[in-house]
Amino acid sequence: MPLSTNLEICTPKDTARAFVVAVSKRKELSKQVFNLGGGENCRITYENFLEKSFHLFGLGKLNFPPHSFANRNFHCGALVDGDILENILHFRSDTLDTYFEETKHSVPFFTKFFGTILRVAIKKHLLKQSEPLKALKTNNKVLLKHFFYPGEFSGI
């Protein structure tokens, strides 16, 4: 996922609330499809989301080599029809702040402790999962075109 991708989360509590309330609002929701999102107060870039998450789990800075993340071809964004759903269900109560605060309190001490001690190994493992970086290292032109813009690398 590109680091600049805009995300809109919906916390587990708000998601559960939406589903519970939806049971009694079946008529209003019938034959409609909505994206479930937390709204304006739950929007963040993928990069900022990862930075905050890495900090909470003791993994330090988001310091991966260039091209570890794709620059294009991924989904997400602001879910504008989520506001319509909110007007029907009134399910939103959380924000990014409440999400990260709850996450902070849910991470056991030993998880953060071992995350801090093993951060280099954990990041090395995560880096091995990077498809864009694999494509670059193997010069896979098909995947390079998928993950990066034309002209970003010679030959694509």
* pLDDT tens digits along 3-60: 999 999 999 999 999 999 999 999 999 999 999 999 999 999 999 999 999 999 999 9
Encoding tokens for residue 71? 């620059």
Mean pLDDT of the chain: 94
State residue 153's pLDDT score.
73
H-state helical runs in 32-108? 46-56, 82-89, 96-106
- Beta bridge partners, 45, equal 6
User: What distance lies between CA 17 and its chain's CA centroid?
Assistant: 21
Name the strand (E) or helix (H) holding 109: helix 109-117
Q: In the chain, where are the structural domains located? A: 6-147
Q: What is the pTM of this model?
A: 0.88
List the single range of 72-86, 93-107, 111-125 with lowest mean pLDDT: 72-86
What's the angle, vertex CA 9, arms to CA 117 and CA 15, rounded to 5?
110
Q: pLDDT-derived band of residue 76, with 50, 70 and 90 as boundaries? A: confident
